[in-house]
Amino acid sequence: MRLRNIPRADAVLDACPLVVKEPVACRGKWNTDIFQNEHPIHIEIGMGKGQFLLTLAAQNPQVNYIGIERYSSVLLRAVEKLEAPLDARNLRFLCIDATTLTDIFSPGEVRRIYLNFSDPWPKARHARRRLTSKEYFSRYDRVLASGGQVEFKTDNRGLFDFSVEQLETSDLWELTACTYDLHHDGLMNEGNVMTEYEEKFSSLGNPICKLIAGRKSDRHICI
């Protein structure tokens, strides 16, 4: 269950220098103005409590990471995991709705997008809100660099089947890798970083599904 009403959340996020307060003003300038380097930018949409992204940022100082979370009370949990003093030069957070992605990133500004255990929005009338819907993949197309990828993990088989179908019927996107049991797939599980949900669900015996998607036009691009 997501936390939405922690009274101190907004004040803590406002005081955290890693939380970007006016992300629209950074569009097209994330490398030059925020990170002050030319490293590739990877984003996680729906970052939850932050274990996945904080681990990646620590392991890969040559990559810039941006965590996106809609709810301030959830993002608070990630910020509270940061050790003082704050020395995460390749990490930033945004408290925004993912529908605004194209207002925040310019075309080609993002190299990789991570979607982990996203809200399944189970009712059919809410399908457009799923982060792996064609509507969202259209947004990803507008911010991803050539050769960019989308990686998606979930234990929800219904959502995963929906996601695969969206890609298989897409004129622009295609599956480049897919598994229905990540932790028993030696190739795809190599180097896997688990989220909090992933640890919980896998400990209960739930198989974790993962897919990687790329543009059909990028088939011959090496990244």
Closest CA to 91 of 59, 67, 114: 67
Q: Are 159 and 118 in contact (CB under 8 A)?
A: yes
Tokens of 44: 């996680």
Residues 110/41, Cβ–Cβ less than 8 Å: yes
Catalytic residue among 14, 87, 97, 119: 119
**Are the CB atoms for 59 and 91 separated by under 8 Å?**
no
Known catalytic residue: 185?
no
Instruction: Tell how far CA 29 is from the center of its chain.
Output: 20
Which is nearest to 18 in space by CA: 67, 70, 77? 67
Nearest to 92 by CA among 110, 68, 117, 58: 68
Q: Residues with Cβ < 8 Å from 61, sequence gap 6 or more?
A: 89, 90
Catalytic amino acids?
A: 119
